[in-house]
Amino acid sequence: MKWIEKKMGLFTLRYSPYTLELKHVFTVASFSRKTSPVILVQLEMDGVVGLGEASMPPYLGESQETVIAFIEKIDLSSFSSPFQTEDIISYIDSIDQNNTAAKAAIDIALHDLMGKLLDMPLYKLWGYNPHHIPPTSFTIGIDTEEIIIQKVKEATNFKILKVKLGLHTDKMIVETIRKVTNKPLCADVNQGWKDPKEALEMAHYLSEKGVEFLEQPMPKEQIDDLAWLTQNSPIPIIADEGCQRLDDIAQLKGVYSGINIKLMKCTGLWEARKMIQLAQGLDMKIMLGCMTETSCAISAAAQIAPQVDWVDLDGALLIKNDPYIGMQVKEGLCYLPDAPGIGLQ
Ligand code: MG
């Protein structure tokens, strides 16, 4: 791996573009793909190296080029310690709008660095009980009957499956899965349905089929339709595309039952922890999700997983060339390494 280095006062920042190779072609309501671009990051101080990662699914507007351009603007030379976290995070956020994955890469590396300097895993530092992490779901993309059966069989150890819906094959997919397993399911429509009455009919159908909650059933712009669906649906309706950052949450109370937090959408752990507190205060459900990511970003997200209702951290299991070893999934349960920071080897 080739690292490009930037020295800034006490800190050295390095980055390296990396292409994740997926085990299967991945299809959701809006696109298909076989690889995913990321930027790996290192933030070093006093010989201690914090690791971070930006993952940029193409539909969210960031790319390796935009992340590198953002990193090139960063100058940490006025900071004397990574424990000036609040100031550093505010500075990073102020550099430019959007660029949430680029910001998350720095946030993750900064938190990993702090944990390593303190010689403590972040979840311990924050007092979270790792035994409270809900089982992670495993995602089944939109596919043919044959491939779906194969994927469900591969996922035999998982306690909950996440099924991608939103094309015209929804019922076929669910019926196919139900031929092979009675496990609980959750469903992600990725904004694929447009008609609220049809969405409600589907919510009832899915509820009868053992689907526990429904992620982003309609386009995020259809606020009134989503609020109506949430009021009438037998299962919780969760915002994913409809909720990016902390500022979005208050206005979503009543529109959705809960939110899906992802580090790449919300700029990292610092803001994700605030989002968890606000959503809990508003009595909203919390799901913790991911993009296609290495064990770096996944292990970072796993540090806060004891605080959420549902976990969807299968991103590193879908790739062939993970450069790190971190959070482990065994029998569908997440195991946090007892290692400093985000816990990568
Ligand atoms: Mg989603």
User: What integer best gives the mean pLDDT of the chain?
Assistant: 95
- The backbone torsions φ and ψ at residue 51, rounded to the nearest 5 degrees and listed phi first, read -110, 140
Q: pTM of the predicted model, to two decimals?
A: 0.95
112 is in an annotated binding site: no
Contact criterion met (CB below 8 Å) for 19 and 182 = no
CA 37-288-163 angle, to 5 degrees, is: 75
Instruction: Please compute the mean of the pLDDT values over residues 70-94 and round it to a whole number.
Output: 98
The confidence band for 30, taking pLDDT boundaries of 50, 70 and 90, is low
* Cβ-Cβ contacts under 8 Å for 259 (sequence gap 6 or more): 238, 239, 240, 243, 249, 252, 275, 279, 284, 285, 286, 287
| 326 CB-side CA count, 13 A | 29
The confidence band for 80, taking pLDDT boundaries of 50, 70 and 90, is very high
Looking at residue 136, the DSSP 8-state letter turns out to be B
Q: For 143-184, what is each residue's pLDDT tens digit?
A: 899 999 999 998 999 999 999 999 889 999 999 999 999 999
Helix %, strand %, coil % for the chain, to 5? 40, 25, 35
- pLDDT(25) > 90: no
Q: For 275-326, what is each residue's pLDDT tens digit?
A: 999 999 999 999 999 999 999 999 999 999 999 999 999 888 889 999 999 9
The confidence band for 59, taking pLDDT boundaries of 50, 70 and 90, is confident
CA distances from 102 to 11, 39, 206 (A): 17, 8, 37
Q: For 186-243, what is each residue's pLDDT tens digit?
A: 999 999 999 999 999 999 999 999 999 999 999 999 999 999 999 999 999 999 999 9
Active site residues: 164, 262
Going by C-alpha positions, the residue among 57, 71, 72, 96 that lies closest to residue 265 is 57
CA distances from 311 to 33, 141, 196, 215 (A): 23, 17, 27, 13
The predicted structure's pLDDT at residue 90:
98
Q: How far is ligand 1, taken at its centre, from the CA of residue 341, in Å?
A: 27
Q: What are all long-range contacts of 118-123, with beta carbons under 8 Å and residues at least 24 apart?
A: 118/340, 119/340, 120/340, 121/303, 121/336, 121/337, 121/338, 121/339, 121/340, 121/341, 121/342, 121/343, 122/269, 122/300, 122/303, 122/341, 122/342, 123/302, 123/303, 123/304, 123/306, 123/336
Q: How far is ligand 1, taken at its centre, from the CA of residue 290, in Å?
A: 9
Going by C-alpha positions, the residue among 278, 227, 281, 286 that lies closest to residue 262 is 286
Q: How far is ligand 1, taken at its centre, from the CA of residue 34, in Å?
A: 18
The predicted structure's pLDDT at residue 266:
97
215 is in an annotated binding site: yes
| Token pair 């072609």: residue | 25
Q: How far is ligand 1, taken at its centre, from the CA of residue 214, in Å?
A: 9
d(CA 326, CA 338): 10
**% of the chain beyond a pLDDT of 70:** 98
d(CA 262, CA 117): 26
* Cβ-Cβ contacts under 8 Å for 184 (sequence gap 6 or more): 159, 160, 161, 210, 211, 212
The bridge status of strand 185-188 relative to strand 160-164 is parallel
Q: How far is ligand 1, taken at its centre, from the CA of residue 84, in Å?
A: 33
The predicted structure's pLDDT at residue 69:
98
d(CA 49, CA 116): 8
Q: For 135-145, what is each residue's pLDDT tens digit?
A: 999 988 888 99
The confidence band for 29, taking pLDDT boundaries of 50, 70 and 90, is low
The predicted structure's pLDDT at residue 180:
94
93 is in an annotated binding site: no
The predicted structure's pLDDT at residue 19:
96
